[in-house]
């Protein structure tokens, strides 16, 4: 795709067991983006889950798993369903084309094909996806603070949870609450409160800058940072830096019971998520979590528990989450 259309280099995935056909498509489309090739349906599915390409070029007739099966499985996965799929296949009958489109493919190109037509259709679908991604990104932004909103956080947590399980890497979470924010709003007024939240969100964005880090407004005066492949020590360091920087803003808070300035309380946790959740999760400290607690919701609850402990201990500090008990609830 020409650079003028997007600053993001598109990633195209070719799934075809025919190496000659894959090489031909690679040659035709090498100027359109970064290209990966999977030599069959099963490895193709694995690559889609791992790499999340911008567009998939899929053959219908493959020995291990047909392209129709691959397409059906991808469209059934909420995280992968929006990736456009173009069938490029030797199946040229109307029934095959109809089936592909009914399964959710955006286009169907029969072999032998014209290189110019393939390139034009791929460009069109990449451009359409770029526009759709832009709209989706706008819908995922909190209007007040400019960081991700709660819906984007929930979707990001689900995606990173699965990724961490596949890669056997730790996933870390930070939950932060502005201390005595109701008192701040009551004394200074809601416009000042909004300005305060925007300043804190800006600090949050500056410390969560690694690829994959997600800073979000979790609700009200509460914010979150989701940090893939991050140890407990690393997320603690990030949280301490956040506290220091918020204090460093020197936002006056005459109605705070603990400081002259606006401060925050933070709870953190980090888990190693095994691929087989039945066997239980372990924290990065090595403690085993109950098998029944191995869910994204329990993960958030653990960080929430740490936040509660930080408040209970006097606020303006970071606390590591205690392990959630089975069937336990936490009310702040």
Q: Render pLDDT for 298-323 as a digit per residue (tens, 0 to 9).
A: 899 999 999 999 999 999 999 998 65
SS (H, E, C) 227-281: EECCCHHHHHHHHHHHHHHHHHCCCECCCCCCCCECCEEEEEEEEECCCCHHHCC
User: Which entry of 50, 221, 222, 254 is annotated as an active-site residue?
Assistant: 221
Averaged pLDDT, 129-138: 84
In the block, tokens 């372990």 appear at 282
The model's pTM is 0.69
Among 21-35, 114-128, 150-164, 264-278, the least confident range = 264-278
pLDDT value, residue 291: 40
Q: Render pLDDT for 151-196 as a digit per residue (tens, 0 to 9).
A: 999 999 998 998 888 888 899 999 999 999 999 999 999 999 999 9
Q: Render pLDDT for 29-88 as a digit per residue (tens, 0 to 9).
A: 999 999 999 999 999 999 998 889 999 999 999 998 999 999 999 999 888 999 999 999
pLDDT at 329 > cutoff 80: no
pLDDT value, residue 99: 96
Helix (H, G, I), strand (E, B) or coil at 189: coil
Provide the pLDDT confidence category of residue 136 given band limits of 50, 70 and 90: confident
pLDDT value, residue 50: 87
Averaged pLDDT of the chain? 88
pLDDT at 227 > cutoff 90: yes
pLDDT value, residue 27: 95
Domains of the chain: 11-139 (3.40.50.2300), 150-320 (3.30.70.270)
CB-neighbour burial class of residue 110 (10 A; exposed 0-12, middle 13-18, buried 19+) = middle
pLDDT at 330 > cutoff 80: no
Rounded-to-integer distance, Cα 263 and Cα 9, Å: 40
Rounded-to-integer distance, Cα 4 and Cα 216, Å: 30
Residue 158 designated active-site: no
């Amino acid at each position: 795709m020409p650079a003028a259309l997007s600053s993001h280099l598109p990633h195209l995935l070719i799934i075809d067991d025919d190496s000659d056909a894959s090489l031909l498509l690679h040659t035709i489309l090498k100027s359109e983006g970064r290209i990966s090739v999977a030599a069959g349906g099963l490895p193709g599915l694995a690559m889609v889950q791992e790499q999340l390409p911008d567009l998939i070029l899929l053959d219908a007739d493959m020995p291990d798993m047909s392209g129709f099966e691959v397409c059906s499985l991808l469209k059934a996965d909420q995280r992968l369903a929006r990736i456009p799929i173009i069938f490029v296949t030797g199946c040229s009958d109307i029934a095959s084309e109809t089936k592909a489109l009914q399964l959710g493919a955006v286009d169907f190109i029969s072999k032998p094909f014209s290189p110019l037509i393939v390139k034009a259709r791929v460009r069109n679908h990449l451009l359409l996806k770029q526009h759709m991604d832009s709209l989706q990104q706008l819908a995922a932004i909190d209007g007040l603070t400019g960081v991700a909103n709660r819906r984007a956080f929930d979707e990001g947590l689900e995606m990173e949870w699965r990724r961490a399980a596949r890669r056997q890497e730790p996933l870390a979470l930070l939950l932060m609450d502005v201390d005595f924010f109701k008192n701040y709003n009551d004394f200074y007024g809601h416009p000042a409160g909004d300005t305060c939240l925007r300043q804190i969100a800006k600090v949050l964005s500056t410390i969560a800058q690694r690829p994959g880090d997600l800073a979000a407004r979790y609700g009200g005066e509460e914010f979150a940072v989701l940090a893939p492949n991050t140890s407990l020590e690393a997320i603690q360091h990030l949280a301490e830096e956040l506290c220091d920087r918020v204090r460093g803003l020197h936002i006056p808070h005459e109605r705070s019971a603990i400081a002259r300035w606006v401060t925050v309380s933070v709870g953190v946790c980090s888990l190693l998520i095994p691929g087989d959740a039945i066997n239980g999760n372990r924290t990065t400290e090595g403690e085993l979590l109950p098998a029944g607690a191995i869910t994204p919701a329990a993960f958030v609850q653990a960080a929430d528990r740490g936040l509660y402990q930080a408040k209970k201990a006097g606020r303006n500090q970071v606390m590591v989450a205690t392990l959630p008990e089975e069937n336990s609830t936490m009310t702040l």
